[in-house]
Chains A and B, each alone.
Chain A
Amino acid sequence: MAVEPRFDETVHGAVRLRICGMLARLGSSEFALLRDTLEVSDPTLSKHLKHLEQAGYLVLVKGPGFGGRTRTWAELTTAGRAAFDGHVAFLREVIDTEPVEGDA
């Protein structure tokens, strides 16, 4: 089914877009995996995850980890997946319809 291109201000932020991209590919993923793959600090990742959670685009679940540590897992909601897919389709549309000056 074709995705309707739609600009999404929440997803548009560079880090938030990358978070959504990782979660869209990997499904439920752990905080440390996102932090290490995206190479961002803990506070930066926390801030953007909370932003996306408040928008209803992802859910954060705390679970047990090795050595009694608590691990945080993030997973895109249906709304989050739709917003991400729509935004990516929008970016592709921008590329297709707005050639750069000087491009052949």
Chain B
Amino acid sequence: MERDERPSHLTARDQLDTLHADGAAGGTRAAAPLWYLIVQSLCVAGFAASFSLENWQAAGFALSAVALVLLGMLRPAITGTRIDPWAHKASTLVGLVMTVFILIMMSVGAFVLAPSESATVLVAVALGTFSGTLALGIWMEQAFSRSVAEAN
């Protein structure tokens, strides 16, 4: 019976091609949308900028942290899948670069913003953190999409 059900060479090739195409479509759909990355970057910029808040530093930190955690919790509902970029090596590497960048910007925030009252410095740090995080976030999602598409 098994021999009768055996697909032909062409059927087998068609099915594998279809699986490959589905993988590419799935990779695109599993990536977070741009608005999600923008909100994520705003939260991270909030971390760095909160050093300028003097007595409200802790509140600024807490608010950014809560927003970031909530965003992470909402990701499966937004993308429709529980897989995330940290599940693949290529996107994890970009994620590590992003983590290092965020730590650097936090340090910059701590050492530059705290003693300074200049609005220009605040805007520069916040904007730099936001744009860097957004660029790395987009890169991470693209690496994630490729990894999902190429997965066997």
Contacts and interface: CB of A to CB of B under 8 A. Distances in A.
Interface of A: 7, 9, 12, 14, 17-18, 21-22, 24-30, 32-33, 36-38, 65-66, 71, 73, 88, 91-92, 94-95, 98-100
A100 B11 CA distance: 11
Given A9-B5, A21-B19, A94-B6, A26 B30 contact: yes
Contact of A30 (B6, B12, B80, B87): B80
B12 A95 contact: yes
Interface in B125-149: 148
A25 B15 contact: no
A96 to B, nearest CB: 9
15 contacts: A18-B19, A22-B26, A26-B30, A26-B81, A28-B76, A29-B82, A32-B80, A33-B79, A37-B26, A38-B22, A88-B152, A91-B15, A94-B9, A95-B13, A98-B8
A101 to B, nearest CB: 9
Interface residues of B, number: 31
A-side binding surface: helix, strand, loop or mixed? Answer: helix
Nearest to B30: A26
Nearest to A19: B22
B-side binding surface: helix, strand, loop or mixed? Answer: helix
B10 A100 contact: yes
B62 interface: no
A21 B81 contact: no
Which 6 pairs across A and B sit closest by C-beta, in order of nearness?
A33-B80, A30-B80, A94-B12, A91-B12, A28-B82, A21-B19
Contacts of B8: 94, 98
Most buried by A among B18, B23, B26: B26
B72 interface: no
B12 A29 contact: no
A32 B79 CA distance: 10
A29 to B, nearest CB: 4
Contacts of A14: 15, 18
B131 to A, nearest CB: 30
A27 B81 contact: yes
B7 interface: yes
A57 B30 CA distance: 22
